[in-house]
């Protein structure tokens, strides 16, 4: 048994505390529980019974450690004498002994209860409890509680061993039941398999009998077929020998004809090789002629480009002369208008631009025709 919040057992380092409803928890656990669940005017409650309990209602069951108790003794020993201090020390030992006794009783540990009872008895002998009747009542209660805890511990061990044996027996029975079910299922499957195999065996036996009858009928037909084949074999052998003799004669004649055909073919091959050699020579001559033609074509293309360049220069020069002549004519007209009575040659006597255009200079072909001709020559050279 232990704390109902953290489910841990009570130890000397973690003291228990009680709520007004009587339920016991770790002091830190129940304090955190009540503080985290208190909202304004609504106080938190017990984790088990939900009874209202503010954090201030927590009641520690004993001091946390010896230092707390020594601090209590030091505060009260200033106004007391040595017997009172001895009484406080005895009371401290009794409190710690009862703490250990309560923790051992809560955990159902009889050996620890015996040690705590011995320490409590020593503290009572030192005068922790002055009333003899109360001391004897406490000792009787401790003895009764110890006997009850020992009996409960023995009963717990007995129940634990019985539960363990019962669990083991239940597990064995369950495993036996599972095995029996598996064996029963395997037996049923084996029975079904046996019946199936028996029916298959009967069907196969019937099929074997039918097959044996078919085999006997086929054997009789095969014997008849064998005798017929023997007679046909003798006839075929005679015919085959005659065919072989004829084939030999035909083969010899075919071989002779093949030899003659091979000689004729060799002659034709020689003639063909000679013709091919001549054709190769002609092809080489044609390639040389084609190369010369390409060279001439490239030369003509270069000459044509030079002619086109010269023609372009002449055309530019003619355009410049024509422009200069127009300027001169314009100057003459201006001079005539300035001095109309002066005797000057008529403008008609000067050469007109149209007369210049009809000069004996040969017109060059158009640019598009020239470009086409150059492209053809370049293509011929590339080929």
* Cα torsion through 332, 337, 342, 347, rounded to 10: 40
Residue 361 has pLDDT above 60, yes or no: no
Looking at the chain, the number of H-run helices and the number of E-run strands are 7, 3
Give the mean model confidence (pLDDT) for residues 37-49: 72
Helix (H, G, I), strand (E, B) or coil at 115: helix
Higher pLDDT, 205 or 97: 205
**Category of 50 on φ-ψ map: left (φ > 0), alpha (ψ -120 to 50) or beta:** left
Question: Confidence class of residue 4 from pLDDT cuts 50, 70 and 90?
Answer: confident
Structure tokens at 146: 């110890």
pLDDT digits (tens, 9 = 90+) for 282-328: 888 888 888 888 888 888 888 888 898 898 999 899 999 999 999 99
Higher pLDDT, 39 or 101: 101
Residue 85 has pLDDT above 70, yes or no: no
The label of the residue with tokens 């200079």 reads 361
Q: What is the pLDDT of residue 350?
A: 46
Structure tokens at 3: 């704390």
Which of these ranges, 193-207, 312-326, 362-376, has the smallest mean pLDDT? 362-376
The span from the CA of 23 to the CA of 46, in Å, is 8
Distances (CA, A) of 164 to 107, 149, 150, 156, 161: 21, 22, 21, 12, 5
Q: What is the pLDDT of residue 185?
A: 92
pLDDT digits (tens, 9 = 90+) for 254-267: 888 888 888 888 88
Q: Which domains does the chain have, with CATH numbers?
A: 1-61 (3.30.40.10)
Residue 48 has pLDDT above 80, yes or no: yes
Evaluate the CA torsion angle 7, 11, 17, 22 in order and state its sign: positive
Give the mean model confidence (pLDDT) for residues 45-52: 86
Q: What's the half-sphere exposure (Cβ side, CA atoms, 13 Å) at 254?
A: 6
Residue 104: exposed, middle, or buried by beta-carbon count in 10 A (0-12, 13-18, 19+)?
A: buried
| pTM summary value | 0.28
The span from the CA of 201 to the CA of 306, in Å, is 111
Nearest to 304 by CA among 205, 231, 375: 375
The span from the CA of 285 to the CA of 298, in Å, is 20
Question: Confidence class of residue 77 from pLDDT cuts 50, 70 and 90?
Answer: very low
């Amino acid at each position: 048994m232990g704390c109902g919040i953290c489910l841990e057992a009570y130890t000397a380092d973690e003291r228990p505390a009680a709520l007004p409803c009587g339920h016991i928890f770790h002091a830190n656990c129940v304090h955190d529980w009540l503080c985290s669940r208190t909202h304004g005017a609504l106080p938190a409650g017990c984790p088990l019974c939900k009874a209202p309990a503010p954090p201030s209602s927590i009641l520690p069951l004993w001091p946390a450690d010896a230092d707390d108790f020594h601090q209590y003794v030091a505060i009260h020993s200033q106004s007391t004498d040595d017997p009172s201090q001895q009484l406080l020390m005895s009371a401290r030992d009794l409190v710690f002994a009862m703490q250990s006794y309560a923790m051992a009783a809560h955990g159902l540990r009889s050996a620890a209860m015996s040690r705590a009872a011995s320490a409590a008895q020593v503290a009572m002998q030192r005068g922790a409890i002055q009333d003899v009747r109360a001391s004897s009542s406490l000792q009787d209660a401790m003895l009764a509680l110890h006997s009850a805890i020992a009996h409960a511990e023995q009963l717990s061990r007995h129940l634990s061993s019985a539960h363990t044996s019962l669990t083991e027996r239940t597990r064995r029975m369950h495993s036996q039941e599972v095995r029996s079910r598996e064996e029963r299922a395997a037996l049923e499957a084996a029975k079904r398999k046996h019946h199936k195999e028996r029916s298959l065996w009967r069907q196969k036996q019937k099929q074997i009998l039918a097959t044996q009858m078919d085999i006997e009928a086929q054997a009789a037909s095969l014997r008849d077929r064998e005798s017929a084949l023997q007679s046909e074999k003798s006839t075929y052998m005679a015919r085959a020998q005659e065919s072989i003799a004829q084939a030999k004669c035909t083969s010899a004649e075919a071989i002779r004809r093949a030899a003659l055909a091979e000689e004729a073919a060799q002659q034709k091959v020689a003639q063909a090789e000679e013709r091919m050699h001549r054709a190769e020579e002609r092809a080489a001559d044609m390639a040389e002629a084609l190369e010369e033609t390409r060279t001439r074509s490239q030369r003509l293309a270069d000459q044509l480009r030079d002619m086109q360049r010269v023609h372009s220069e002449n055309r530019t020069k003619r355009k410049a002369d024509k422009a200069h002549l127009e300027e001169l004519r314009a100057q003459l007209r201006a001079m005539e208008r300035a001095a109309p009575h002066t005797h000057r040659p008529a403008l008609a006597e000067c050469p007109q631009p149209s007369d210049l255009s009809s000069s004996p200079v040969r017109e060059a072909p158009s640019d598009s025709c020239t470009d086409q001709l150059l492209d053809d020559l370049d293509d011929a050279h590339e080929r």
